[in-house]
Amino acid sequence: MDFRLTDDQEQFRSMLRTFVDKEIVPVAREWEQAGRYPTEIVEQMKQLGLFGLMIPEEYGGAAADFTSFTLMFEEIARGWMGVAGILGSHSLSCWMIARHGTDEQKRRYLPDLATGKRRTGIALTEPDAGTDLQGIRTTAVRDGDEYVVNGAKMWITNARYADPLPVLVKTDRTTTPAHKGMSVLLIDANTPGFRVTKDIPKLGYKGTESCEVVFEDVRVPVGNLLGGSEGRGMQQVLSALEVGRLNIAGRSLGIAQRAYDEALAYSRERQAFGKPIADFQAIQIRLAETATQLQAARLMTYWSATALDRGERSDLQTGMAKLFSSEIALQAAQESMRIHGGYGYSAEFEIERLYRDSILMTIGEGTSDIMRTVIAKSLVAGKGKVGW
């Protein structure tokens, strides 16, 4: 076993770290509190090629490995998790189009998505359907060479910039089980009847928008059916969510690392009873526990990334990584807040933002309890094992 990064991965991480420390960290708290969209940061991410990370080279992308994919989210989330979210939905959708799209769809969309000229996201969740995707109500009825789409989606990241927006729909409401009647349509921006109705206020995860979108008699060409065959939508989406869990695990590592860094620095500077609070055993125990759990989460996350790089089915590995890392992110933020004392509760310090962002990690891409169910099903079905 070799736990070291390759030279290329090390260089990529170094580039990301410099970018984050120079361009994101100094402005994150101020821009987040002001509700300011990080336009300048997005432009720099385009120049760095980050929007094309998961797109094949033939379409202008980097065709990166999943370890580099994870490094990107860890480093950017260390600076500002909301900015990582802009790349998260985009990368997941690009990977899905690259893997499942027709040749024509790939040629039409991927080159511009690789440069960031176009951006994208993915529309799954509905007001009455989150975890239970088979319960969605958005429909697409075939009418000649078009589908007519009606319905609504919620919590859609990048909704105001997505072009196209992959949308999970029911193309056959009579088929059982329901997932056999589900498909993904690539809906272009500015298509009549496709509206972003509002931005949803959130506790954290700011910097990127989370929106409600509505489809009213939206006419979508049959050529925009992802992969060209009806009834494949659930499989396409689930394969993307497998990658999405790795994205969340990486973001969780970034939050946890920043929370630990802030706690360690503060404990060295803060004086009590004539000495730094880092000299007190109670603080040392919290630091040691956070550092140990963070490193364990990191090892599990990159273990799952290497499984995907080997082409393995990785529901078990990514589920474990997402579950453990997200819980550790929340725990690290809480411990850092305790070490900061009253200052940790102040919006003038980074930790309160990290705490608000960490909560989403235990919810997004499947709650922690859903992850436990995914892991258990993999074990019971013999699709994974504990051990080497």
On the 0-12 / 13-18 / 19+ scale of CB atoms within 10 A, 9 is middle
Q: Please choose, from the candidates 5, 101, 13, the residue with its C-alpha nearest in 3D space to the C-alpha of residue 55.
A: 101
Confidence at residue 315, expressed as pLDDT on a 0 to 100 scale: 87
* pLDDT score, position 253: 98
In this prediction, residue 312 carries a pLDDT of 84
At 231 the pLDDT is: 96
For residue 137, what are its two tokens? 């109500």
pLDDT at 383: 82
pLDDT of residue 384: 77
> Distance between CA atoms of 172 and 179, rounded to whole angstroms?
9
**Measured distance CA(194)–CA(149) in Å, rounded:** 9
- In order of their start, the domains of the chain are 7-115 (1.10.540.10), 133-230 (2.40.110.10), 235-380 (1.20.140.10)
State the pTM of this model.
Answer: 0.96
Phi-psi region of 274 (alpha: psi -120 to 50; beta: other; left: phi over 0): left
Q: What pLDDT score was predicted for residue 286?
A: 98
347-383: pLDDT as tens digits: 999 999 999 999 999 999 899 999 999 999 999 998 8
pLDDT confidence of residue 92: 96
pLDDT, position 349: 93
Find how far residue 349's CA is from the centre of its chain: 25
Q: Which two tokens stand for residue 139?
A: 């429909």
| Residue ranges in the chain modelled with pLDDT below 50 | none
* Catalytic residue ranges: 365
Side chain identity at 277, as an amino acid letter?
I
Predicted pLDDT at 131 = 84
